[in-house]
Amino acid sequence: MAGVTLDTVRKIYAGNVEAVKGVSLDIEDGSFCVLVGPSGCGKSTLLRMIAGLETISGGTVKIGDRIVNQIEPADRDIAMVFQNYALYPHMSVYDNMAYGLRNRGTPKDEIEKRVKEAARILAIESFLARKPRQLSGGQRQRVAMGRAIVRKPQVFLFDEPLSNLDAKLRVQMRVEIKRLQKALGVTSIYVTHDQVEAMTLSDKLVVMSGGQIEQVGSPADVYRRPETRFVATFIGSPPMNILPGTVEGPGRVSVGGQSIAVTDMREGLSAGTPVEVGLRPEDVQAGSAGVSALTMDVDFVEELGATQLFHGKVAGAEFVVQASTGQIPADTRRLTLAIDPANVHLFDPQTTKRLGRV
């Protein structure tokens, strides 16, 4: 086992396009690290550089204590699971898993032992003789994982492995990947654009945008204390509401003429400074007046079963509130929203950075 260390890793494509702009990251041995971000943020490129499928334009990638910049993918002691699984269509499931081991000259009985063991862990023993096309999506996914497991690598790399599965299977496989990773204890790096996958799987969540890291932390940290407006609106569903506001004084901001209290606010902000006020749809108490309150004009209601989403406007900006079904009558036109000062996030409109306590 080994950790992975990235030091100002860059990727510059032909035509001077910088896809990854100096990323530094420490991934501890045995941890599950998820890179999440919108498409084109460089997360897949970064993963492929760790795998050795893309050359590294600058910086160093270390697996364990070894700098692997110039080492062939096969010799980096990694295994990768691809989005479309990349199973060899003409080989049986057994051969698909055994191929890598055969290429490195592993003895036959050892190959058999490892493949059988991986098949048992993944419950695909009965398909070993089949070809990939005879398997369902979920089974192919398992074979792809099996191919990674038999290698006994130092690092698992996952490139959006669940995005080709239907929603139900995705949840099931997600749980399985997590369980497997805990059981094997292998350092894993997982790329996804799905924030639910990112939140549920990761020990360490890395939010990327525009080739740079926006924030690194535990999923709970990233959710509770987003460092930038991008992270705030990217993590969480429905996304965080952002309202324009101005500073009134220490611990108070004004939104559309209504004053609300804020716990986490940088000191020394002068009155009148424009700020962006972030409120999560699930953090706002609708219908009851609290310490501070905002009023919202409701446009329409979305039913989600257990909850309802009220769409409308607060101080002229789009706003969404999540409430348990039945808590508020669906035909309500005007809502009073109680705001807990601890749940208010402030961002600088220019730098989009968090204006929290230092």
Of 89 and 257, nearer to other proteins (C-beta) is 89
The neighbouring-strand residues paired with 313 are 297, 318
N residues, the chain: 358
Q: How far is CA 349 from CA 17, 228, 273, 355, in A?
A: 27, 10, 10, 10
At closest approach, how far in Å is the CB of 188 from other proteins?
A: 15
What are the structure tokens assigned to 244, written together? 């324009």
At closest approach, how far in Å is the CB of 62 from other proteins?
A: 19
What are the structure tokens assigned to 38, written together? 């919108």
* Among candidate residues 190, 199, 182, 184, the one with its CA nearest the CA of residue 162: 190
Where do contacts with other proteins occur on this chain (CB under 8 A)? 51-53, 72-75, 78-80, 82-84, 86-90, 99-100, 103-104, 132-133, 147
What are the structure tokens assigned to 323, written together? 């409430």
Of 153 and 281, nearer to other proteins (C-beta) is 153
Instruction: Let me know: does 104 contact 76? Beta carbons within 8 Å.
Output: no
At closest approach, how far in Å is the CB of 103 from other proteins?
A: 4
At closest approach, how far in Å is the CB of 100 from other proteins?
A: 4
Q: Does residue 238 have a cis bond before it (omega within 30 degrees)?
A: yes
At closest approach, how far in Å is the CB of 118 from other proteins?
A: 14
Of 82 and 169, nearer to other proteins (C-beta) is 82
Of 75 and 117, nearer to other proteins (C-beta) is 75
Half-sphere exposure of residue 323: CA atoms within 13 angstroms, side-chain side? 22
Distance, in Å, from the CA atom of 25 to the CA atom of 6, rounded to the nearest integer, reads 5
Residue located via tokens 């910049």:
69
Of 114 and 204, nearer to other proteins (C-beta) is 114
Of 42 and 52, nearer to other proteins (C-beta) is 52
At closest approach, how far in Å is the CB of 135 from other proteins?
A: 11
